Amino acid sequence: MSSFFGGSSSQPSSPSSPADAAARKEAVMNSIRGELALANAQELINKTNDKCFAKCVTKPSTSLSSSEETCLVRCLDRYMEAFNIVSRTYTTRLARERLDVQSDSL
């Protein structure tokens, strides 16, 4: 206990408590990463749902037709592909802008 509440500038004397703290920290970081990844996936699912429903189900009837289902499958694949193209283009651009700023400041 004294190592836990001890002087903040000294290293904790017990070998188990820093390992404990490191494990706890790792757990917190992983849960935050997990939450963000989940939010990202949910956003992508919501967007594909909206976009593909708008494109493929133009006149809703009593059930999804097979042509509508084909369209939805293709639309889903294309939306993911579009996301990847946009992501690649954006990150490449950001890297380029950063290089420009660096060479300007030299």
Q: Which of 93, 95, 99, 100 binds other proteins (CB under 8 A)?
A: 93
85 near other proteins, judged by CB under 8 A:
yes
Cβ neighbours of residue 72 closer than 8 Å, sequence gap 6 or more: 52, 56, 57, 64
Conformation bin of residue 99: beta by default, left when phi > 0, alpha when psi is -120 to 50: alpha
Say if CB 79 and CB 46 are below 8 A apart: no
User: Which backbone phi and psi does 58 adopt, to 5 degrees?
Assistant: -80, -35
Q: Which of 19, 31, 33, 64 binds other proteins (CB under 8 A)?
A: 33
21 near other proteins, judged by CB under 8 A:
yes
The distance of closest approach from Cβ of residue 51 to other proteins in the complex, given in angstroms and rounded to an integer, is 6
51 near other proteins, judged by CB under 8 A:
yes
Which residues are at the interface with other proteins (CB under 8 A)? 4-9, 21, 25, 28-29, 32-33, 36, 39-40, 43-44, 47, 51-52, 55-56, 71, 74-75, 77-79, 81-83, 85-87, 89-90, 93
